[in-house]
């Protein structure tokens, strides 16, 4: 007999206590990055897998920075659902212990409640439902508890993809949630740049004896302040951006600075040539350098991640739209996002990936981070139904 939405809803509702317990246990597992200590939350996930009969493997590039890969289902398509075990530091402004979950009015308050331990708790319910009906599956859920997402994923998803042979036919990334109102189908290209100027120090009363490293950088920044990467517009994305993130030069007013560095963040849209963006900035810097006697300037690329965009006709997108509307009454919108998630790593290795999650906007990384248990249960229901559509044999991915 086919599994119905009523079956899934009854299962999730009957295990509301489990959902709350999973989340509480994950929040209590302190995994602040740095140092990470993801092994603490990994222990919660692997204990759940053992009790549920779900096979899993663990992977560590560095001791204690544990990744968990659990699998439900016999074959293909393999749908990866990567979540991360680490959190940012608690920071200031909390009125409760950020690592001791508090329930108020149906909300769970604690560091990681939304980002990303709440969605992980929901996916644990989804995995258990699918495991109990594994005989009816054709494909496979690949549930991932990854390390190091908050610091670049070098020890997490990048390690799993580049060194551990992790593969999937598609992926849904429950991060950067928008209360299940948005499906992130693409990400802007990202350029992180460092501009460095080396001049000559001198006494501040005789600046002509030195060569200020600061003024040429100011000149460069003035020339690019209003410039934006060119390219065709895309209604899924906000416009391209350029941000000056930091500038460092000098230490006291009576000294000519001999060194200046600034950090720049550029985000550009699919269809824009990232190489041409770099070429333009280097050309402007060369013009500045030609007029800056005694100062050497160079531009270093700290990170360059290409823009990504998933085919709008992918069955994964349609399944999320349909099942979310069925459960919540709202059809999520397709959107391209400005930030970068592990979806980009997957897409650039040939795996279509979208971002989709629950939770209110703006509470992640903030004091008093929270998530609503009712919405978390709805997310568990939606994701279970979506996975049944994708790995239950109903369609090709």
Q: How many domains does the chain have?
A: 2
Residue 355 forms part of a structural domain: yes
Out of 286, 305, 324, pick the residue that ends a domain.
305
Q: Where are the beta strands (DSSP E) in 269-382?
A: 296-305, 308-309, 333-337, 353-355, 370-372
User: Which residues on adjacent β-strands are paired with residue 103?
Assistant: 108
Residue 47 forms part of a structural domain: yes
Q: How far is CA 200 from CA 210, 216, 260, 295, in A?
A: 5, 13, 11, 8
Token pair, residue 122, equals 């929901």
317 phi/psi in degrees, rounded to 5: -65, -45
Same domain, 300 and 375: no
Give me the tens of pLDDT residue by residue for the chain, a chain 397 residues long. Answer: 689 999 999 999 999 999 999 999 999 999 999 999 999 999 999 999 999 999 999 999 999 999 999 999 999 999 999 999 999 999 999 999 999 999 999 999 999 999 999 999 999 999 999 999 999 999 999 999 999 999 999 999 999 999 999 999 999 999 867 999 999 999 999 999 999 999 999 999 999 999 999 999 999 999 999 999 998 899 999 999 999 999 999 999 999 999 999 999 999 999 999 999 999 999 999 999 999 999 999 999 999 999 999 988 899 999 999 999 999 999 999 999 988 889 999 998 999 999 999 999 999 999 999 999 999 999 999 999 999 999 996 555 5
Out of 275, 305, 335, pick the residue that ends a domain.
305
Residue 111 forms part of a structural domain: yes
CATH number of the domain within which 226 lies:
3.30.70.360
Same domain, 284 and 348: no
Half-sphere exposure of residue 239: CA atoms within 13 angstroms, side-chain side = 8
Q: Within the chain, what is the greatest distance between any pair of CA atoms?
A: 88
Residue 396 forms part of a structural domain: no
Same domain, 179 and 113: yes
Q: Residue 227 and residue 241: Cα distance in Å, rounded?
A: 9
Q: Residue 216 and residue 194: Cα distance in Å, rounded?
A: 14
Same domain, 181 and 193: no
Going by the DSSP 8-state scheme, the letter that residue 73 receives in this structure is S
Half-sphere exposure of residue 169: CA atoms within 13 angstroms, side-chain side = 17
Same domain, 316 and 332: yes
Same domain, 70 and 170: yes
Same domain, 181 and 212: no
Domain span including residue 105:
5-187+308-391
* CA angle (250 as vertex; 247, 255 as ends), nearest 5: 150
Q: Residue 125 and residue 146: Cα distance in Å, rounded?
A: 18
């Amino acid at each position: 007999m086919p599994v119905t939405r009523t079956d899934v809803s009854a299962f999730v509702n009957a295990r509301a206590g489990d959902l709350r317990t999973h989340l509480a246990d994950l929040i209590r597992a302190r995994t602040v990055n740095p140092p990470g200590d993801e092994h603490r939350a990994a222990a919660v996930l692997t204990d759940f897998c053992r009790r549920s009969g779900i096979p899993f493997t663990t992977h560590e590039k560095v001791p204690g920075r544990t990744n968990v890969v659990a699998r439900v289902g016999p074959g293909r398509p393999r749908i990866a659902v990567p979540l991360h075990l680490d959190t940012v530091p608690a920071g200031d402004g909390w009125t409760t212990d950020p690592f001791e979950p508090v329930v108020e009015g149906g909300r769970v308050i604690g560091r990681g409640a939304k980002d990303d331990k709440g969605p992980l708790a929901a996916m644990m319910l989804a995995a258990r439902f699918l495991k109990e009906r594994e005989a009816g599956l054709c494909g496979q859920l690949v549930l991932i508890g990854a390390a190091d997402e908050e610091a670049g994923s070098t020890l997490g998803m990048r390690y799993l993809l580049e060194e551990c042979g992790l593969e999937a036919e598609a992926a849904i990334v429950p991060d950067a949630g928008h209360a299940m109102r948005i499906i992130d189908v693409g990400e802007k290209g990202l350029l992180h740049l460092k501009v460095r100027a080396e001049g000559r120090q001198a006494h501040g009363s005789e600046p002509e004896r030195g060569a200020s490293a600061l003024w040429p950088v100011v000149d460069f920044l003035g020339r690019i302040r209003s410039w934006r990467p060119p390219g065709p517009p895309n209604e899924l994305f906000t416009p391209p951006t350029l941000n000056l993130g930091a500038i460092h030069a000098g230490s006291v007013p009576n000294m000519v600075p001999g060194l200046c560095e600034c950090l720049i963040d550029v985000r550009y849209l699919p269809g824009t040539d990232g190489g041409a963006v770099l070429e333009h900035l280097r050309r402007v810097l060369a013009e500045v350098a030609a007029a800056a006697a005694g100062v050497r300037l160079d531009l270093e690329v700290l990170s360059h991640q290409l823009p990504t965009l998933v085919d709008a006709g992918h069955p994964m997108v349609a399944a999320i739209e349909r099942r979310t509307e069925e459960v919540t009454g709202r059809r999520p919108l397709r959107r391209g996002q400005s930030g970068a998630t592990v979806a980009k790593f997957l897409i650039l290795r040939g795996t279509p990936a979208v971002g989709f999650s629950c939770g209110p906007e703006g509470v992640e990384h903030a004091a008093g981070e929270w998530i609503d248990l009712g919405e978390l249960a709805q997310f568990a229901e939606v994701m279970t139904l979506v996975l049944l559509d994708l790995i239950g044999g109903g369609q090709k991915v």
